[in-house]
Amino acid sequence: MRVSPGLALGVVALMSTCPLLAWHAEGHRITTFEAVTLLAEELPQFLQDGRDQMAWDSIDPDLMCNRSLPQLRDRESPDHYLDLELLQGGGLPDTRSKFLEHIASPEVGMGIEKVGGLPYAVVEATQRLTLAFAQVRHQPADEHLQAKVMLYAAQLAHYAADLCQPLHTTIHHDGRALEDYSSPYTGIHQQVDALIGRLKPQAEIRGEPLVLKPIFPAVVEELKRSHAEVDRVYQLEGDLALLEAGGEPSAELRSWTRDRYRASVLFTASLILTAWRESADLQIPDWGLPEQPPTN
């Protein structure tokens, strides 16, 4: 998730937001729209009606990494990746505060800006959406609460899709890492990020969204499945280079893109479904439920 000074000017302009954007803006919009569509029979109708807005809002976490907003960028950027190799094979604590303590210990000895915090962003965003859904259950016609749900769901969709891009889970995020764990910045990350938007797989989703309980272990398992694809990405490096040069995508590259697209959509839908189901039992204090919806 680090930026190379040698990138072409067009890419440098893109990097004014989050470095190495997973699936690019178009890919995020596609996966978000399709994940919500997959839940049409489960979720309130306002979410189906708001799919276009949610798809657009799903790019916000990348916009929050704008270099002109340095404090926000510093806080936001680590939530888009986790370099699993830096954990030296150790497990992931189930809260962000425990994780920060763990990586600061002599065993790891790094800050979150080096290691990343992506699975915590996914879980926290799911729980934030759970809370908003619980409020909507009490006041289902409140358009202000509906708007909050759509924004939170869109942000969750972004982190979920990031996690399903394998190069967001590894020190080999833009070429095989050097001995000091730094990146050679080969450009492969940008090539992978562009795949969903470029190839528009929109393949049939096999399987049904699942309620993920307990949520943190389920997110970690999805992270590991994504990480297991890192070597496959590098096996496709020649295919990616050919596509970048204007050639036709290989059958293997199309197949792999479809698989990652399906994983992104299904994981996102499962997280949104989890938030909706869990919200049914979440207690909201009276002061969290306005007697009358806001008028402005």
**Within a 10 A sphere around the Cβ of 2, how many other Cβ atoms?**
14
In this predicted structure, what is the pLDDT of residue 14? 42
Is residue 205 within 8 Å of 34, Cβ to Cβ? yes
Give rounded-to-5 percent helix, strand, coil for the chain. Answer: 60, 0, 40
pLDDT at 22: 65
> What gap in Å lies between CA 213 and CA 126, rounded to an integer?
12
CB 236 within 8 A of CB 251: no
Q: Which CATH architecture has domain 9-288?
A: Orthogonal Bundle (1.10)
- Asked whether the beta carbons of 152 and 125 are under 8 A apart, the reply is yes
Using the predicted structure, report yes or no on whether residue 19 has a pLDDT greater than 80.
no
Contact 221, 169 (CB under 8 A): no
Residue 16: the pLDDT is: 56
pLDDT at 6 over 50: no
The pLDDT of residue 123 is above 70: yes
Domain spans of the chain? 9-288
Sign of the dihedral through C-alpha 140, 144, 146, 149: negative
Written as one string, the DSSP assignment of 115-174 is HB-HHHHHHHHHHHHHHHHHHHHHSTT-HHHHHHHHHHHHHHHHHHHHHTSGGGSSS-BT
Q: pLDDT higher for 9 or 78?
A: 78
Kindly write down the DSSP assignment for every residue of 273-289, as one continuous string: HHHHHHHTT----GGGS
183 and 291 in contact (C-beta within 8 Å)?
A: no
* DSSP-assigned beta bridge partners for residue 173: 175
Confidence of residue 207 (pLDDT cuts 50, 70, 90): confident
As a whole number, mean pLDDT of residues 4-27 equals 56
